[in-house]
Chain A
Amino acid sequence: EPEVTQTPSHQVTQMGQEVILRCVPISNHLYFYWYRQILGQKVEFLVSFYNNEISEKSEIFDDQFSVERPDGSNFTLKIRSTKLEDSAMYFCASSETGLSGNTIYFGEGSWLTVV
């Protein structure tokens, strides 16, 4: 079964450092998303990406965040200057276009710990 893959699975970083989280969406999917889940809380939407541009972003997705699709397969989330409150699980997700795009698949997540 095709899957969304994320790297790294876990990263510890110093406050103020830049972090890049990487994702390889399912190959025929064209919508990509990043979500985050602070420990013990619900999953929150960060940003959606379609046709090489951001289609929607949440209030959480401020200037310290950016997304990029640098090649035909990878989709990255960059956090420019990490804060303690950025510690969370970050999920990448993807879905097809068309009316069959009713399944949104998530990767296994990247745990980010900011110290």
Chain B
Amino acid sequence: AQKITQTQPGMFVQEKEAVTLDCTYDTSDPSYGLFWYKQPSSGEMIFLIYQGSYDQQNATEGRYSLNFQKARKSANLVISASQLGDSAMYFCAMREGFPNQGGKLIFGQGTELSVKP
């Protein structure tokens, strides 16, 4: 059974510093995708970044990068140069199978990030 674990319920970071949010996963499917979403206090789910299990390079999207360590089954999110607007809940999620199979996302418990001025 697929499983996502986020071990940091809450994190603090100083503005302009980098922060790493941890995510480990467990699956027996060789094909899977890993996602990170941001949920601000207003409640919406904002897609941040995606990493496919066969991708050779770590994914990057602006200030977001995904530190993908396949052997360790970890997919940590790195936010560089934190901004006050980064304060939110962050969810790691996994989908088994190829993207064209449309599988469901399984979410972790989330990490609440607070950025201090």
Contact = CB atoms under 8 A, between A and B. Distances in A.
B93 to A, nearest CB: 8
B102 A109 contact: no
A42 B43 contact: no
A43 interface: yes
B50 interface: yes
Interface stretch (B15-23, B72-80, B104-112): B104-112
Given A101-B99, A101-B102, A44 B52 contact: no
Contacts of A95: 99, 102
Contacts of B93: 43
Interface in A22-73: 30-31, 33, 35, 42-45, 48, 50, 55-56, 58
26 contacts: A30-B102, A33-B104, A33-B105, A42-B91, A42-B107, A42-B110, A43-B45, A43-B105, A48-B102, A48-B103, A48-B104, A55-B102, A99-B100, A101-B102, A102-B33, A102-B50, A102-B52, A104-B35, A104-B95, A106-B45, A106-B46, A107-B44, A108-B43, A109-B43, A109-B44, A109-B45
Interface of A: 30-31, 33, 35, 42-45, 48, 50, 55-56, 58, 89, 91, 93, 95, 97-109, 111
